[in-house]
Structure 1
Amino acid sequence: MLTWERLRVFAAVARCGSVQAAAEALHVTGPAVSQHLRRLEREAGCALVERDGRGIRLTHAGRVLAASAQQMDEAAVQAGADLSAISGLVAGTLRVGAIASVLRALLPQVISSLTGRYPRLELTVRDGEAADMLPELQAGRLDAVVMESWTHAPARIPPGVRTHPLVHEPAMLAVHSGHPLAHLPEAPLSSLHDLAWTSCPAGSDAHQALVQMLRQQAVTDVRIRYCVADYSTQLQLVAAGVTAALVPRMAATVTPPGVRLIPCRPTITRTVSVVTAQRTDTPTVRAFVAEMTRAALSTGTTQGPDPLAGSGP
């Protein structure tokens, strides 16, 4: 007879694509997952996985069983969410992924407030880019993702998630105070030729937004010389007089001497949102979204239209 615990582990393996990834999602060891798979195969009477290089892949029987196991797993998750909703309990582990600039600006006060108010809540946080974290959200390895979307590079939101906009803010051109553009009250985008740039790493939303903005201004030689995820470091490079940067207002509250921040015309904006999975709409997740909203409002950054609206179901 097939047991639920082994089916739950098998559903995680099918969803995550490997034993190790499933182990991380379930907070168990890799050998424990492998043991469950071997016992499940004995119970099923057939092979469910086979080696594929250093990883594994599902057999035909494995794919058939995985479909049922994942339906059962989703039903169990929903049942837990329904019970939590009835009791309104904010407890357990909440796994959050967030971009670095929001981690620095908002997450410390949110963590302090939530863990102080809900002592049975264990909140874990990691930084990263939306392109890497959204699949983790879909796979159930994260409960919420704090991400950004820029006017010049709108983020693509996968199906099955919800977006909760926090702030809509302008980005400013950061140049050295001795740069010819530094005396201008506004920086026309058409004047941003012949600049050497620092930006977040390639593949990030901020990097894509800068590249798209420059290309729209017919800049054919986009020179991004310094790829640095941290905006504080980017501003230090600007202060050294070696580069320019495009910095959102949330990340530019403190600037080093020698840096001039100039509004862009037309305005370049980004929206910061919390993204959650529809199937895990629990009191714990809702409490996190509410606290993030309060923290964002306390920064004085205005909310506005959400560029993510309409990109998901």
Structure 2
Amino acid sequence: MGEQLKDVLAAPVTRVLLVLVVAQQIGAALGSLAATGLAGVRWGQSPVDDALALLGAVLGTLVAGVLLRPGELPAAAVRAEPQRSWPGPRLGAVALVAAPLLLLAGEAVRMGHFYYYPAQLAAMATDRTTILVSYGLFTLGLLALVPAFLALAAMIAVREPGWAFWGATAAVLGTAVRLFQDGIGFLALHLVDVQGLDTATHAVTATYQSWYVLYPLTFLDNIGWALLAVGAVRAGVLGWLPAAGVAIMLTHSSGVLKGSAVNSLVATALLAAALVPLGVAAWRAAPPVSRAAWRGGWVAAAALVALYAYHLLVEV
């Protein structure tokens, strides 16, 4: 039994899981316990708890990574693998860069307001433009995550198709749930305009825990982040440090009208630090395209910009 346990712990996949998931979650739990002792708060109930839980997660990952050194790449390396399926090398590269930056911008813009829904609704009454811009940026980031996930999964699939399949499945379905929740949040925010803050807050409070068909899948995106991070290290796409930046999204809150906190802002910044260099590497490694393809791409981008400009100038 002892020899079997040693073999399991020595296995490459076990080392990756220990660094990216187990050490991270143990560190977050210890950080939260420290917050309980220092400030008398419960898990996720104060900025102090959020900050210490994130600090514990980062330190736990770093210590385990230095000790176990998982993966075949240097710790901070990224390696873009060729992509043949949708979204392709160019769109995939753009999505890998744009998605985390849009999410980070959305998190940063609303950072001045407490993350729980009563404060978000109150901010809609006092700082409407900031809230609408932040949620709009975050929604665009979620949408861009779909091709970004598929691009990352395509790279992983070259050597680890199983991790790629399950990681992409969980991540894409989880993002669909997040987009559904964003739709609920959009309606709730505009209830403040239509019915007033008190009525909107009462409506959200009365229905916040209501069951819906996607409710059991709320945390599926968190699982997707972990699977893709482990798969990326196993496939030699990311070193363990950038993979830890992907896995740290396990700590990111999911749900309706969840604003920004220290942990979500820093986690999204670490995600950007991981995916943006991979997107740049994927763009540089992409095969050349014809002039006709470039023209078609620019025409499509210009049409999209014109569509947004029309709605902003004419209908908003």
Report TM bin, short chain.
under 0.3
Structure 1 or 2: more helix by fraction: 2
**Which structure is larger by alpha-carbon Rg, 1 or 2?**
1
Structure number with the bigger relative contact order (C-alpha 8 A, sep ≥ 6) is 2
TM-score (norm 2): 0.24
Structure 1 or 2: more strand by fraction: 1
